[in-house]
């Protein structure tokens, strides 16, 4: 039972263009969502997050959009840079006093071509 789904295993974009990574979830109890970036042989690095009370959160080139009714979120990277090439994981949790576990998707491998 996969509660967080990233249906695109890979995505390739040109440098300077927009990258859009998508994520769907099934558990309506999730109310906090995160994106992590992972390079090979390294641990995941926290990128950006969004609470369910918002529909958008922006941090520099990275913007996360949340559509609660569709149980869908997306990460936009504008403009994309070659250094953004990595695997991106979507994660979700239920915030009940903190310390709730994260449920991760399988990841999308982003390749940004120079």
Q: Tell me which residues touch other proteins (CB under 8 A).
A: 4, 6, 32, 34, 36, 41-46, 49, 89, 91, 93, 95, 97-107
Q: Which two tokens stand for residue 76?
A: 């936009």
Residue 98 CB, shortest distance to other proteins, in Å, is: 4
**Which of 49/74 has CB closer to other proteins?**
49
Measured distance CA(85)–CA(30) in Å, rounded: 28
Asked if 37 contacts 45 with a C-beta cutoff of 8 angstroms, the reply is yes
The CA R_g of the chain, rounded to the nearest whole Å, is 14
**Which of 79/103 has CB closer to other proteins?**
103
Asked if 6 contacts 108 with a C-beta cutoff of 8 angstroms, the reply is yes
Residue 15 CB, shortest distance to other proteins, in Å, is: 27
Residue 9 CB, shortest distance to other proteins, in Å, is: 9
């Amino acid at each position: 039972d996969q509660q967080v789904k990233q249906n695109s295993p890979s995505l390739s974009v040109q440098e300077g263009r927009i990258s859009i990574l998508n994520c769907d979830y099934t558990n309506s109890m999730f109310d906090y969502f995160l994106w992590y970036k992972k390079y090979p042989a390294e641990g995941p690095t926290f990128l950006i997050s969004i609470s369910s009370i918002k529909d958008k959160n922006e941090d520099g080139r990275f913007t996360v959009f949340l559509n609660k009714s569709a149980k869908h979120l997306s990460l936009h990277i504008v403009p994309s840079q070659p250094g953004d090439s990595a695997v991106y994981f979507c994660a979700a949790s239920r915030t009940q006093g903190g310390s709730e576990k994260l449920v991760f998707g399988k990841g999308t491998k982003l390749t940004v071509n120079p």
